[in-house]
Amino acid sequence: MNNSVGNTARLIGAGLRALLVLTVICGVLYPFAVTGIAQAVFNDKANGSEVRDASGRVVGSSLIGQRYDLPRQNPDDPEEAARPDLRWFQPRPSGGLGSNSVNTRYSLILSGATNRSADNGATGGRCTKDAEEGTLCAQVVAAKEAVIADNSTVGHHVRPEDVPPDAVTSSGSGLDPNISPEYAGLQVHRVAERNGLTVEQVEGLVADHTEGRTLGFMGEPRVNVLELNTALKALSGN
């Protein structure tokens, strides 16, 4: 009986010592080491890839998209459609971007995309104006018409064939922070006109904020909308 009690006590003691050692190693030393290395080597990424404006204020993260909309005409109407603020470069369409009471320019509702197929509402394999209301094709057609109307200026008319896919479709996550250089270029004339800048000035901003493929072969060239609009704000003084 005494031997059994002694063996049990030794096993419990060994288990407690192992628990203590592993807690210190895995729960204290390892997290401190990983955090320390991340802060020392990848400080920006470890802190959320924050984007700051000219005053040093954090305006968002370069990893998560934002909307640039006008204030609601009726804040109490949840059904009121968002109206883009055309002074700014616009991101991809997304149901994942929304508003809250903390920071209306940096807010999230959900992450996700439609489950509809690419030809939902298509006729003969093409999306037309006759697409059934509520289908993906109807949404794409409406978005394309809005992009053409919003970005056509005096002396510069946007043609339907100039509208790139990311101007009328959302990403898989719904939170994509980037747009294609083609979509950014499409918005240059409108942004220049709305901000009292020259087309050349705005084209220079887009060129400065265009990133190539990662390591030269992964992904596609892209423009981060938040970083671009932050630079635009500094240039225009808005």
Does the pLDDT value for residue 187 go beyond 70? yes
What average pLDDT does the structure give for the chain? 86
Residue 97 has pLDDT above 50, yes or no: no
Over residues 14-27, the pLDDT tens digits come to 999 999 999 999 99
Give yes or no for residue 200 having a pLDDT over 90. yes
Question: Is pLDDT at 131 greater than 80 in this prediction?
Answer: yes
Identify the band that residue 69 occupies on the pLDDT scale cut at 50, 70 and 90.
confident
Identify the top-confidence range among 41-50, 132-141, 193-202, 210-219.
193-202
pLDDT-derived band at 205 (thresholds 50, 70, 90) equals very high
* Whether pTM exceeds 0.75: yes
Q: What digits encode the pLDDT tens for the residues 137-184?
A: 888 888 999 999 999 999 899 999 999 999 998 887 778 899 999 999
pLDDT classification of 108: cutoffs 50, 70, 90: very low
Q: What is the pLDDT of residue 101?
A: 43
The mean pLDDT of 59-79, rounded to a whole number, is 82
What amino acid occupies position 41?
A: V
Instruction: Give me the pLDDT at residue 19, please.
Output: 95
